[in-house]
Amino acid sequence: MSTEIQRFSTDLRDNQEMQKEIKNMGSDMGKIVAYANSKGYTFTVADVDAKKGELSEEQLDKVAGGNGGILVAW
């Protein structure tokens, strides 16, 4: 995952005010990315789309080992 997307994801997880603002945007990725950019995070919708399909080494190990599925959530 790109550094900026990871940083945004971590900050979002730890900040309830950001969570409320994002929740009000629904699933409109354009609005979410615009919000993130306004808060100083630098990534695009295309960056998010590109990262959705990538798996970490840990996730690959789980898939190869049959330990379950993968959940992608904001």
61 vs 14: which has the higher pLDDT: 14
What is the overall mean pLDDT for the chain? 79
Could you tell me the pLDDT band of residue 21, with boundaries at 50, 70 and 90?
Answer: very high
The answer to whether 2 touches 47, Cβ cutoff 8 Å, is: yes
46 vs 70: which has the higher pLDDT: 46
* CB contact set of 24 (below 8 Å; sequence gap of 6+): none
32-51 pLDDT, tens digit each? 999 999 999 999 999 888 87
Can you read off the two tokens belonging to residue 41?
A: 């995070």
CA–CA separation, 54 vs 72, rounded Å?
A: 11
What is the average per-residue pLDDT within 43-72? 65
Q: Which residue is listed with tokens 């979410």?
A: 32
pLDDT score for 24? 87
